[in-house]
């Protein structure tokens, strides 16, 4: 999950470009990410897609810039709690994400943006698209739609 959040999963690397993130902070980020997904009921892939699209190095300067566009989190919101629950969860998540960004050298922001693009697809497949792909495989052993869909999703990287 750390790569989907833009961070290096190998925390043993002590080079300046990959400073060690505190274990407690990475655990807190993963836990808060899961809580935020639960509270907002946002689609898992939509959350990470929005993170990838909205990320900018300036998030390191001010935690209020993190996820400044909340439309992805509030569109069609069917929360498992109150609006204050959402606000509290989001603020906690933004603070820990900002803290982890600040633990990285400024030069690492480019690598974080690259990892976000690499590990979070720019496109997601609808249920009907998946069904059509599967039907071609199941009925005619035709894998071309599957490989085409994968190739198209890679173009967005």
pLDDT confidence of residue 60: 94
CA 28 – CA 13 distance, rounded (Å): 20
Helix or strand or coil: residue 117? helix
CA 87 – CA 96 distance, rounded (Å): 14
The model's pLDDT over 3-37, given as tens digits with 9 standing for 90+, comes to 999 998 754 445 544 445 568 889 999 999 999 88
Report which of 123, 33, 128, 109 is spatially closest to residue 73, judged by C-alpha positions.
33
pLDDT confidence of residue 43: 79
CA 127 – CA 131 distance, rounded (Å): 6
pLDDT confidence of residue 17: 46
CA 51 – CA 37 distance, rounded (Å): 13
Mean pLDDT (the chain) is 83
Q: Which segments in the chain show pLDDT lower than 50?
A: 11-13, 16-19
pTM, two decimals, is 0.72
């Amino acid at each position: 999950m750390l790569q989907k959040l833009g961070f290096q999963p190998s925390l043993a690397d002590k080079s300046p470009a990959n400073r060690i993130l505190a274990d407690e902070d990475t655990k807190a980020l993963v836990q808060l990410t899961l809580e935020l997904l639960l509270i907002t009921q946002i689609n898992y892939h939509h959350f990470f897609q929005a993170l990838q699209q909205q990320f900018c190095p300036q998030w390191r300067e001010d935690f209020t810039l993190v996820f400044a566009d909340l439309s992805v989190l509030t569109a069609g919101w069917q929360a498992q709690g109150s609006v204050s629950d959402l606000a509290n969860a989001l603020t906690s998540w933004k603070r820990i994400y900002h803290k982890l960004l600040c633990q990285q050298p400024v030069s690492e922001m480019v690598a974080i943006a690259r990892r976000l693009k690499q590990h979070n697809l720019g496109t997601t497949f609808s249920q009907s698209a998946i069904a059509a792909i599967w039907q071609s495989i199941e009925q005619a052993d035709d894998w071309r739609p599957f490989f085409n869909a994968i190739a198209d999703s890679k173009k967005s990287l």
